[in-house]
Amino acid sequence: MGSSHSSEVPGGGSDGYHILRVQDGSPGQKANLEAFFDFIIAIENTRLDQDNDTLKELLKKNVDNPNIKNVYLVSVFDFVPLKGPLKIVWHVLEVHPSSPAELAGLRPFSDYIIGADSVMHESEDFFTLIEAHEGRALKLYVYNANDDTCREVTITPNHNWGGEGRFGLWSRIWIPT
């Protein structure tokens, strides 16, 4: 999964920038970075071991530098510990016909909702996000076990779609180990 040039964490440490999305056509995509599975921990000889402006400054400084080899441009980051960033995942078990989940293209048994525009650490984070987006588009990141890929899914939570719940799906919480 992700870049094939993974190695020991330069400079040690246990934090990095969790990649939430890779832009089409970007150097990050060309390097096969995978959203949710890969992290940016260093650029050249600079270890990114704290949540500050270092990453932004390095990217800005080197955006047109053809000699820099280890800068990956991705569009969304979240600074997290490298081990165990996915605390809770929702395994999609059933998708009801004509539901917001079906309209969004969620697939039962093989889809796992792994996040939104930010990593969710508690089950309540997800439910709060759904309630806050009632009737408005919500972007979710979904891993499909059959395809071994991540994709963005846009769903509009709506409790008036004609069935139960705001999504029209049954899922169970799965805690990765």
Are 47 and 76 members of one domain? yes
Residue 5 belongs to some domain of the structure: no
Would you give the distance in Å from CA 3 to the centre of its chain? 16
Mean pLDDT of 39-64: 75
Domain CATH for 63: 2.30.42.10
- Taking alpha carbons only, the member of 91, 113, 114, 96 closest to residue 167 is 96
Check residues 107 and 33 and name the one with the higher pLDDT: 107
Are 121 and 71 members of one domain? no
Mean pLDDT of 92-107: 94
Are 56 and 109 members of one domain? no
Check residues 83 and 3 and name the one with the higher pLDDT: 83
Looking at the chain, the whole-number percentage of residues with pLDDT higher than 70 is 69
- Count structural domains, the chain: 2
Residue 1 belongs to some domain of the structure: no
Per-residue pLDDT for 128 more than 50? Answer: yes
For position 105, what pLDDT does the model report?
96
Q: How confident is the model over 52-99, as pLDDT tens digits?
A: 788 778 777 766 665 555 443 335 444 554 554 456 788 899 999 999
For position 169, what pLDDT does the model report?
83
Residue 2 belongs to some domain of the structure: no
- Final residue of a structural domain among 81, 111, 137: 81
- Final residue of a structural domain among 49, 81, 113: 81
What is the span of the domain harbouring residue 153? 89-174
Per-residue pLDDT for 104 more than 80? Answer: yes
Are 131 and 57 members of one domain? no
For position 124, what pLDDT does the model report?
72
Query: What's the CA gap between 88 and 121, in Å, rounded?
Result: 6
Are 72 and 47 members of one domain? yes
Residue 6 belongs to some domain of the structure: no
State the CB neighbour count (10 A cutoff) for residue 155.
Answer: 25
For position 115, what pLDDT does the model report?
80
